[in-house]
Amino acid sequence: MSAPVEGVGASAVAAPGVNVYGGLLWREWLAHGGLVIGALAVWLVCGWVLELFFHPGFIIAFGVIYAFLAGPAFGGGEAGEGSEEFAFSLPPTRGERYIGRMLLGGGTVLAFTVLGVLTIALDLPQHLWGILVNSGFTEPFARCEPRFIYALAIAVPFAVFASSFALAATAASRGMVAASWFLGGLGAGAVTGLGFLGEYLLWGEVNGYISTTALVALAPLALLGGYLAYQRKEGVSRPAPIGGRSLWWVWLIVVVGIVFVLMLLGVLVARRIAEAPRMQEPAQTATEEPAALPERSPSPPAAVPKAAPPRPAPQPEAPEHAPAPKGGQ
């Protein structure tokens, strides 16, 4: 009995021309295609048809919610079903299974967020509506400040997905799989908040230098750590419980609300800090005394032209031969 099983397993694993990742991606699509299609429908309707996603903050909220659902679904689907030990006995290796699920789940998160940011930044829905009608749908979106929120719209959801995916993939129980989305979102939110705090302490404003860089570094580190731990993981084979109602959706609503409020507060604080110098400039100009003008040396008075002296009146001329007096005769 053992020889045929070993022969079948060895031939399946060592076959050089087998497209392992194609089969794994197809398997994950059959298992979680409904989640991807549902998120795609919401993204198209809200982003392109109704134009509700007019600010990167909406992309952050949508991406985080999708990451909460996709991380545990793609990372811990087999562990949550109690069939992980059986899945490890199949020909694909653990590393191939991990990478295949990561490509499909992480690829959809990046696709939704990157295309969403480009849709807002380039006013793509307006150009599309402009072909058919000329109305309010064709007015461009207002540019948001600060600009680093466009980068956060991509970095935050992917960091949440990477953290929750790695935790769900390495979970040793179904309870840990169910809590992976909460722990992953909490870790990504803590990194973002600490990054904002460090930026304010160093530069006096929230500029995204530390927070965005930390989130970009968190995602690959979490995925790499999960990949290494997944190689040595013991498969979860406990069957799912029958009956009972799960309240995971209540916790999902609570965490989504907390994350949304925190991100909104971060945006408002960043905008307030950015507008503070502009509000102080008019006050300073009103209170400052006018600068004293430099003293000028007194200029000499202009020379008044002297009036010409009056000319003397002309005297009558005496006759040349005056008559002699008559008394001497």
- The pLDDT tens digits of the residues spanning 6-16 come to 434 443 444 44
In this model, does residue 228 exceed pLDDT 60? yes
Q: Which two tokens stand for residue 216?
A: 């970009």
Q: How many percent of the chain have pLDDT more than 70?
A: 60
Question: What is the mean pLDDT of the segment spanning 226-240?
Answer: 76
- CB within 8 A of 103, min separation 6: which ones? 21, 25
- Predicted pLDDT of residue 7: 38
The answer to whether residue 310 sits within a structural domain is: no
- Predicted pLDDT of residue 267: 59
d(CA 256, CA 189): 11
The answer to whether residue 290 sits within a structural domain is: no
In this model, does residue 277 exceed pLDDT 70? no
Q: How many CB atoms lie within 10 A of CB 126?
A: 16
**Residue of higher predicted confidence among 164 and 134:** 164
Q: Tell me the three state secondary structure of residue 297.
A: coil
Which class for 188: exposed (0-12), middle (13-18), buried (19 or more C-beta within 10 A)?
buried
In this model, does residue 75 exceed pLDDT 70? yes
d(CA 260, CA 117): 18
DSSP per-residue letters across 248-309: HHHHHHHHHHHHHHHHHHHHHHHHHHHHHHHHHHHHHHHHSPPPPPPP-PPPPPPPPPPPPP
The answer to whether residue 15 sits within a structural domain is: no
In this model, does residue 132 exceed pLDDT 70? no
Q: Which two tokens stand for residue 248?
A: 């995971």
> Which of the listed ranges 97-101, 235-239, 304-308 does the model predict with the highest average pLDDT?
97-101
In this model, does residue 72 exceed pLDDT 80? yes
Helix axes 20-44, 94-121, angle to 10 degrees: 30
Segments forming the whole domain that contains residue 28? 20-239+249-272
Are 200 and 48 in contact by the 8 Å Cβ rule? The answer is no
- Name the DSSP letter for residue 136: G
In this model, does residue 134 exceed pLDDT 50? yes
In this model, does residue 249 exceed pLDDT 70? no
Helix axes 94-121, 124-132, angle to 10 degrees: 60
- Give how far Cα 3 sits from Cα of 10, 85, 118, Å: 11, 22, 56
The answer, as to whether pTM is greater than 0.85, is: no
Residue type at 69 in one-letter notation: L
The answer to whether residue 180 sits within a structural domain is: yes
Number of domains observed in the structure of the chain: 1
Question: What is the mean pLDDT of the segment spanning 177-195?
Answer: 89
Q: How many CB atoms lie within 10 A of CB 6?
A: 10
d(CA 328, CA 160): 151
**Residue of higher predicted confidence among 60 and 255:** 60
- Predicted pLDDT of residue 178: 84
- Predicted pLDDT of residue 245: 47
| Residue keyed to tokens 């990157």 | 114
The answer to whether residue 262 sits within a structural domain is: yes
Q: Which two tokens stand for residue 235?
A: 């498969």
d(CA 147, CA 185): 23
Are 141 and 127 in contact by the 8 Å Cβ rule? The answer is no
Residues in the chain: 329
- The pLDDT tens digits of the residues spanning 12-71 come to 444 444 578 788 888 888 888 899 999 999 888 888 778 787 788 888 999 999 999 999
- Predicted pLDDT of residue 217: 94
Mean pLDDT taken over the chain:
75
Are 110 and 220 in contact by the 8 Å Cβ rule? The answer is no
Does an H or E element contain 146, and which? none
The answer to whether residue 261 sits within a structural domain is: yes
